[in-house]
Amino acid sequence: MQDIAALIALETAGQGGTLAALVAHDKGSAVAWNLANQLPHLAQRLMIVNSPHPGTFLRELQNNPAQQAASAYTNFLIRPDAERLLAQDDYRRLWNFFSAPGQTAGPSWLTQAVKDQYRAVWGFGLTGGCNLYRASPLRPPTQDDPAAAAVNLPDAMLTVQLPTLVVWAMDDIALPPVLLDGLGYFVHDLTLRTIDHATHWVLHEQPALVTRYLQDFLLEH
């Protein structure tokens, strides 16, 4: 969160020190939710794409076996050898994250050009990404690690007062729509836009629609 706050300071120098909007997806949103709670003066609006609020995510990780199963992959990503295993066979395990269970071919948007873009980023190293998972206890409990079962977050650490847009792809297998239940309790000025027949990779699948939702929210708030 300190890194994002420093980046915002650089980007908004001479403009009052406040972003018009902080936009985030997946693990980046885990940081964004907390920044909106603890440093709300740094952004006028919050926009989240398929990333659970920590309050609803913690609830489901503690009580919902389906969510625990859907998030089981995070316990792989915190292994000390995760980076080495993920890089094997031309990032075979990472490509598999993009495909639905039982899907033999990758999604249509995953062209060779897009793969090359991912390879270029992953080539700088995978430790930073894995460390985001290692730093968070919001993962399914195991026999050796209580993880989310040992976490208790007070409402004061979860409440978001910023006008907030949440865009949610309804076929996300890792983050099912149950994570939207009770979201309004934590986010007091909430706009929700759902997208049917789209997965966690909605930014690739429906870029024009997601962009429209973001633009509309900027104009309306």
The answer, yes or no, to whether residue 100 has pLDDT greater than 80, is no
Supply the pLDDT for residue 1.
92
Q: What rounded mean pLDDT belongs to the chain?
A: 95
CA–CA distance, 196 with 95 (Å, rounded to integer): 23
The answer, yes or no, to whether residue 102 has pLDDT greater than 70, is no
Supply the pLDDT for residue 7.
95
Supply the pLDDT for residue 99.
84
User: In 9-34, which positions are buried (b, 16+ CB within 10 angstroms) versus exposed (e)?
Assistant: eeeeeeeeeebebbbbbbebbbbbbb
**Of residues 56 and 30, more confidently modeled:** 56
154-203 pLDDT tens trace: 999 999 999 999 999 999 999 999 999 999 999 999 999 999 999 999 99
Judged on CB neighbours under 10 Å (0-12, 13-18, 19+), 81 is exposed
Give the CA distances from residue 32 to residues 38, 47, 83, 162, in Å, rounded to whole numbers and listed in that order: 10, 9, 25, 11
Instruction: Note the pTM of the prediction, 2 decimals.
Output: 0.94
CATH architecture under which domain 1-65+153-221 falls: 3-Layer(aba) Sandwich (3.40)
Give percent of the chain with pLDDT exceeding 90: 93
Mean pLDDT of 110-119: 96
Mean pLDDT of 4-29: 93
The answer, yes or no, to whether residue 104 has pLDDT greater than 70, is no
Q: Within the chain, which residue ranges are assigned CATH 3.40.50.1820?
A: 1-65+153-221
The answer, yes or no, to whether residue 68 has pLDDT greater than 70, is yes
Supply the pLDDT for residue 15.
86
